[in-house]
């Protein structure tokens, strides 16, 4: 299974930037690992977006990290496994929109999670093309 995401930059015409980072371990077991953020993460994004991952063993609970900014919202994507977030059950390939701070996930099976956070009101450049698209002339 693959997960592909597009994060639009905050402004147009930024210089291209390719980044690589060796995370060492393929998974972050039992804790959230910050992958990308505007600052303070191994990979820098030029938008108000934060991306973290975690592997949660079956039967374990993992608190959601605090919201990274006032007014931020989160998307919790279950890459694999099955988790409960409050009364909501999520399986591999499903995503939940979380607008409140706090909460936790409980793994019903070994689960791999990806957590996205963003500020809905932050500046974002909506023009341009996604990588790989071709403009018809």
Taking domain 33-118, whether its CATH number is 2.60.120.10 is answered by yes
Work out the number of other CB atoms within 10 angstroms of the CB of residue 98.
20
d(CA 51, CA 62): 16
Q: Where are the domains of the chain?
A: 33-118
d(CA 104, CA 81): 16
Main-chain dihedrals φ then ψ at residue 91, nearest 5 degrees: -115, 170
Bridge-based pairing of strands 49-56 and 104-107 is unpaired
- Angstrom distances, CA of residue 53 to CA of 61, 69, 78: 14, 18, 10
**Tens digit of each residue's pLDDT (9 = 90 or more) over 36-89:** 999 999 999 999 999 999 999 999 999 999 999 999 999 999 999 999 999 999
Residue 119 neighbours by CB under 8 Å, 6+ apart:
48, 69, 71, 72, 73
Determine the pLDDT at residue 63: 96
**Tens digit of each residue's pLDDT (9 = 90 or more) over 87-134:** 999 999 999 999 888 899 999 999 999 999 999 888 887 776 655 545
Stronger pLDDT, 131 or 13, i.e. the higher one: 13
């Amino acid at each position: 299974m693959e997960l592909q995401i597009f994060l639009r930059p905050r402004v147009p015409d930024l210089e291209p930037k390719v980044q690589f980072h060796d995370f060492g371990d393929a998974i972050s077991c039992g804790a959230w690992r910050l992958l990308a953020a505007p600052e303070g993460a191994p990979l820098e994004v030029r938008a108000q977006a934060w991306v973290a991952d975690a592997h949660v063993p079956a039967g374990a609970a993992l608190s959601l990290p605090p919201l990274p900014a006032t007014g931020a919202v989160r998307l919790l994507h279950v890459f694999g496994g099955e988790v409960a977030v409050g009364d909501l059950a999520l399986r591999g390939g499903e995503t939940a929109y979380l607008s409140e701070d706090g909460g936790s996930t409980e793994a019903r099976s070994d689960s791999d999670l990806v957590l996205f956070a963003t500020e809905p009101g932050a500046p974002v450049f909506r023009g341009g093309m996604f990588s790989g698209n071709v403009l018809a002339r």
